[in-house]
Amino acid sequence: MAGLQNLRTEVLLGAHRRLERFSRDYPGEVPLSARNLAHYLAFRSLDLRPIQRGLARQGLSSLGRTEAHVLASINQVTRLLGQLTGRPVAGLEDELAIDYDTGETTLRDNADQLFGPPSGPREVRIMVTLPSAAAVNPQLVMELMEEGMDCARINCAHDDAQAWSAMIGHLRAAEAQLGRRCTVLMDLGGHKLRTGPLEFKPAITHIKPRRNLLGRVTEPAHVHLLPEGTGQDPVQARGQYAFSLPQATLDGLQSVDELRFRDTRGKARVLRLVEPLPKGGWLATLDQGAYVSDETEFVLKRPDANGHRSPVLSLRLGWLTREPVNIRLYKGALLHLTRDPVPGRPALVDDQGRLARCARIACSAPEALDLLEVGQAVWIDDGKIGGRVESVDASGVMVRITHCRPQGSRLRADKGLNFPGARLNLPPLSPQDMKDLDFVVAHADLVGYSFVESRQDMVVLMDELARRGGAGLGVVAKIETGRALENLSEIILATLGRHRLGVMIARGDLAVEIGGERLAEIQEEILWLCEAAHVPVIWATQVLETLARSGTISRPEITDAAMAGRAECVMLNKGPYILEAVHTLNDILVRMQAHQHKKSSQLRALRLCAD
C-alpha cells in the first residue's frame, strides 16, 4: 500500500513540474488531456515493475493499461487495495483526474473530429497518398473511396496548385455521389533534404526493325514524329520509337516525303513517312537498323513533277524525354555531395581501371551541409545507402559509402537525405511552405507538418495559420527525426487546446534517424504517449508497400498491417496496385479489431476453442 501511495504522490508532483513549463500555453484551465499526459510522463519515468508484480499477486490491475486515464486508474487500484487490507485511503478525489470511460471516449471523439468517422464497420481509418493521376482521373478517386479510403493525402512536394485543385474537385464530386465525407490532408514539403537531379545519358537511340531467326527483316521499325511538348517516352515499345518536331514542320509534311540521313556510324538510311497520326504528328518507317543521336541531320526530300526527289529542308529530331545516367555506389566508394545544384554523374575510371573522379550529386538544401562535420552519418533513400562524412570543403562534403547492397545500390534523384543527430538549424517552414500554406488553409482539412522538431516549431506553424485564418485547421505533427522524438511531449503539450492535433509516425525517416533496430520499441512508445494525450495517431510508411507497387504481398507486410490497427489511421503510399492495397488493408483491419484494441486483447469467442 505504501508503495502505491508513494507512486501516486510522485506522479502528482512530476506532472505539476511538467505543466509549470507550459503555463504560458494554458493561460486558463489546463486541458484534461494535457493533465493526463503529464501524469503519464511522470508515471512512466519510474520503474514500475516491482509494484506491478505485487498488484498482480493480489489479482488487481497491474497498471499496464492506464494510458488514457492514468490518475483515475491509480486511484481505483489504491481504493481497492485499501478495501482488501482494511485500510481505506482518503483524499483520492482531491486531484482532478479523467476517468476510465471519459479517457476512452475522448480519444475516439478526437479521432472523429480530426479524420471524420471511418467507413463501414471498420474502427481505424485508411489514408491514401493520391498519385498525380488523381488530378486527371476522377474514376480513380471514386474507386479509392469505394474501396474504403477515409482520408486523402496530397503531398505538396509534388505536383502544383492546379493539380491539387483538380484532385480535391474529384474528391468532392465522389463524396457527393457516395454520400460520405473524405478528409483532405495536405502535407507540407518542408526543406526537402533530397538528392539533386542527374545528368542525362547521351541522346542516342538504336532504331531496330523486327527480324526473324535468320536475321531477315519481317517488319520495319515504326517511328512516331510528334509535336514538341508531347509527354511520351522515346524508348522502344513493341518496335515503336518516338521523337519530336516543331508543329509547323509537322504540318508541312506529306506522305510522299522521305527523311534521309547518315547514322552515327556513317551508314545511309531512309525514314519514309506513311500516314498522319490520329492525335497529331506522323508515322514513319525505317527498313534498316540505325543509331540516331540528337546531332543526326535529316534531309527532307520530296518528289517533283518528274518524280525526282529534291531536298526541301534540313532538320534534327528532338528527344521527348531523356534517360538519366545510372549512378551505382559500392561499399568503400566516395560520393561528393555538392552545394552547387550541378547535375549528378557517376564515377569515372581511366583506361588502367584507376578512379579518375568520384560520383557526385547535389543536396537540394545546400545550407544543411554547412553544419556537417567529419564523421557525421549520412543516409540516402530511406536508409538504402549509408556513409560517413570523410572531408568538408567549400564545394560540399565527401562521403565514404559504408552501407549498400553487395552488388551496389543505385543512387537516384529526388531521394531523401538524412543526417542523424545533426543540428541543421533550418527554419521550421521553408519559403515554399509559406506559399503552400495559403492554398492549404483555403482547401484542406488537415495540414501535415514535415520535420517539426520542437515546441517552438509548433508555435511558428500555429501563428502562420492564425495569420491566414486557419485557426480551425487540424495539424498533424510528423515525427521523423531524433529531435522530434525527444521533444514529442512538448510538441503535444504546446498544441493541445489550440488546434485539433494528430501525430504521424513517419517510420521511414525515423528508422534512419534512430536505427531500424529501435523502431519497433519506439513506435510503441509513441502510440502510448499519444493515447495518454488522447491524440490520434497515423501509422505511416511502407504499409503494404510491395502490394501497392507490384501487386504481390509478403507475410511481414500482413503482420505489419495487422499491428497498424492499434493506431487511429493507417497510411498507404501510391502505387499501380493501390486499389488492391486499400481493399486488403480494409479486410485486415476489420478482422483484427475483433482481436485487439490498442494494447488490450479482445477476448471474443474463438472457433478454435469451440466444442
Per-residue pLDDT tens digits for 461-497: 999 999 999 999 999 999 999 999 999 999 999 999 8
| CA distance linking residue 503 with residue 118, whole number of Å | 17
Predicted pLDDT at 234: 42
| CA distance linking residue 31 with residue 255, whole number of Å | 78
Task: Give me the mean pLDDT over the 131-142 stretch.
Answer: 96
Helix (H) or strand (E) run with residue 431 in it: helix 431-443
pLDDT digits (tens, 9 = 90+) for 425-440: 888 999 999 999 999 9
| CA distance linking residue 64 with residue 520, whole number of Å | 18
Predicted pLDDT at 574: 93
Task: Give me the mean pLDDT over the 391-402 stretch.
Answer: 96
For residue 233, is pLDDT > 50? Answer: no
Predicted pLDDT at 532: 97
Quick one: pLDDT band at residue 231, thresholds 50, 70, 90?
A: low
Helix (H) or strand (E) run with residue 449 in it: strand 446-449
What type of residue is 555?
R
pLDDT digits (tens, 9 = 90+) for 543-566: 999 999 999 999 999 999 999 999
- Give the residues across from 310 on adjacent strands: 302
Predicted pLDDT at 557: 93
For residue 69, is pLDDT > 50? Answer: yes
State the SS3 of 276-345: ECCCCCEEEEECCCEEEECCCCEEEEEECCCCCEEEEEEECCECCCCCECCEEECCCCEEEEECCCCCEE
Quick one: pLDDT band at residue 601, thresholds 50, 70, 90?
A: confident
Predicted pLDDT at 602: 80
Q: How many residues does the chain have?
A: 611
Quick one: pLDDT band at residue 101, thresholds 50, 70, 90?
A: very high
pLDDT digits (tens, 9 = 90+) for 298-317: 999 999 888 888 898 999 99
Question: Which has the closest alpha carbon to 39: 522, 537, 532?
Answer: 532
Q: Which residue has the cell 457516395?
A: 178
For residue 232, is pLDDT > 60? Answer: no
Average pLDDT value for the chain: 91
Q: Which of 10-14, 26-30, 46-50 has the highest mean pLDDT?
A: 10-14
Predicted pLDDT at 80: 83
| CA distance linking residue 269 with residue 12, whole number of Å | 87
115, 117, 119, 120 alpha-carbon torsion, rounded to 10°: 160
For residue 238, is pLDDT > 70? Answer: no
Among left, alpha and beta (phi > 0; psi -120 to 50; other), residue 541 is: left
Task: Give me the mean pLDDT over the 155-169 stretch.
Answer: 95
Q: pTM score, two decimals?
A: 0.81
pLDDT digits (tens, 9 = 90+) for 253-301: 999 999 999 999 999 999 999 999 987 899 999 999 999 998 999 999 9
Residue 509 CA: distances (Å) to CA of 236, 270, 418, 542, 560? 37, 53, 7, 11, 17
| Percent of all residues in the chain with a pLDDT value above 90, rounded to a whole number | 70
**How many Cα atoms sit within 13 Å of 535 on the Cβ side?**
36
pLDDT digits (tens, 9 = 90+) for 203-220: 899 999 999 998 899 999
